Amino acid sequence: MGNERPEDEAWQEGLPLTFYERLHEASVDEKLPLAREAAGHPGFDEEDAFEVGSHVEEALNQAGRYAEFEALLDAWKERAPRVYEAESAVRTWRVELALRLPGRDVKEALVSLARQTGDAALVARLAEWCLYRGRLHEARAGLLEAWPRVREDETLAEWTRVDYVTRAVLTCMDAGLREEPGLSLERLNEQLSLFDRAVPHWAAQALELRTGRKPWARREGHTLLGLSPEAFFDEQRALVMTFETELRVRQGWPWGRTQLLYPELFHLLPGPLGHGGVVRRPMHLLLPVLTDLEHWVRGLGEERALHPHVHAATALALRPWGEYLHRLGLVEDGELAEWWEHAWQLLSALPEQLAAANDPLLVEEAHRFLRGGWPHG
């Protein structure tokens, strides 16, 4: 019982190939009992769980019967508990099910995954899904649960760890502000103490600018053109932070979703060198170069699969970003309209790519908001 392995030397790990042939040829109705029965096979292992689960999940998704996947995982938990507990994909599916189906415990599912894997990329991706939907407490719990292992993981690239800390710090800030709108810097620092020296140097500034407590110190366009690269990036970061308030007030974005602009929007913005070295107007510093935007849409499929909700939030923020710059007098009406006319045509290819998120609602939203239209009028 419990998917125990026999002592017979002739026993081989894994399901037989004939099983997979039957599974692939079966109808959706036939796939479910086959997948349940697989858990009772003495050779059923973690690799089988991943392969069978992925195949059945895809079939159910295509048939509009995704909710039935939950019962299959329940059956595996009962019939093959060792494999169920060992395969991280099972816990990932549990989190995705909790996010897509009503009334499920997202926090428990995400914390369980974070505790089991400590996988920075996986936990971050699912936390970003939570953040996109404004589920701050769930995202915070998962990110904090995995942090000790992320911190000590010597195989992790340092930039990945920095991005993880940035996401966790902003999530703690957002959750704290939802609980206590007047959150003080002292109180925030208490919550961030577990990150120690990893806390970004701009955290105090973020608390003021992201809440609207302090407006952007508006600069005339020509002063932006004359800044040193270091000063420009500081000013750009401050401008994006104040833009978050615009997204919440004018676009109805929840706390959590606005922070998903980090770091992707900064990857898209031209920076102090402007459009291929051309820096004649503020728009050359603050609106993505169209060729760069095209590459971002068409050439970053792997990155988009890792962070689909970040990419979606960034894409959906581009038109409001242009309008915000226009209201600040940094971009003229005509140049914004011309830029957006080309930009939305490029972005129209994005929704189908977001299907990798396993979040059909995200694809629908992207279709709805990227249909085009002019920024003014």
Residue 375 reports pLDDT greater than 60? no
- CA–CA distance from 190 to each of 169, 279, 357 (Å)? 12, 42, 34
Residue 151 is predicted with a pLDDT of: 96
**pLDDT interval class at 376 (50, 70, 90):** very low
> Mean pLDDT of all residues in the chain?
91
Question: Which backbone phi and psi does 278 adopt, to 5 degrees?
Answer: -90, 120
Q: Taking the domains of the chain in order of start, what are their residue ranges?
A: 1-8+15-86, 107-202, 215-377
Rounded Cα distance between 199 and 195, Å, is 6
60 has a pLDDT exceeding 50: yes
The structure's pTM equals 0.91
pLDDT given for residue 224 in this prediction = 76
One-letter identity of residue 242: T
Q: How far is CA 21 from the centre of its chain?
A: 35
pLDDT single digits (tens) 339-352: 999 999 999 889 88
**Weakest mean pLDDT among 172-176, 202-206, 354-358:** 354-358
pLDDT at 108 over 90: yes
CA–CA gap between residue 64 and residue 42 (Å, rounded): 32
Closest CA to 371 of 338, 339, 349: 349
Q: Determine the Cα–Cα distance for residues 51 and 17; give it in Å rounded to an integer.
A: 12
The answer to whether 177 and 211 are in contact (CB under 8 A) is: yes
Give the CA angle between residues 297, 300, 303 to the nearest 5°.
Answer: 125
Kindly indicate the confidence band of residue 221, based on its pLDDT and cuts at 50, 70 and 90.
Answer: low
Q: What percent of the chain has pLDDT over 70?
A: 92
pLDDT grade for 7, boundaries at 50, 70 and 90:
very low
Instruction: Give, in order, the Cα–Cα distances in Å from 28 to each of 24, 55, 280.
Output: 10, 10, 59
The distance from CA 217 to its chain's CA centroid, rounded to whole angstroms, is 30
pLDDT of residue 274: 67
Q: Tell me the angle at which helices 46-62 and 28-38 cross, rounded to the nearest 10 degrees.
A: 160
Mean pLDDT of 77-91: 96
- Per-residue pLDDT, averaged over 313-339, amounts to 93
Q: Using the 8-state DSSP alphabet, how is residue 231 labeled?
A: H
Q: Residue 372 — pLDDT band, cuts 50, 70, 90?
A: low
Of 33-37, 284-288, 343-347, 368-372, give the range with the top mean pLDDT.
Answer: 33-37
Q: Which residues pair with 159 in a beta bridge?
A: none
Please give the share of the chain, as a percent, with pLDDT higher than 90. Answer: 76
From 96-110, 194-208, 283-297, the region with the lowest mean pLDDT: 283-297
User: What value does the mean pLDDT take over residues 187-208?
Assistant: 96
Give the mean model confidence (pLDDT) for residues 352-372. Answer: 87
Residue 11 has pLDDT above 50, yes or no: no
Q: Tell which residue, 51, 52, 68, has the closest CA to residue 60.
A: 68
What pLDDT, on a 0 to 100 scale, did the predictor assign at position 275? Answer: 64
Q: Residue 6 has what pLDDT?
A: 46
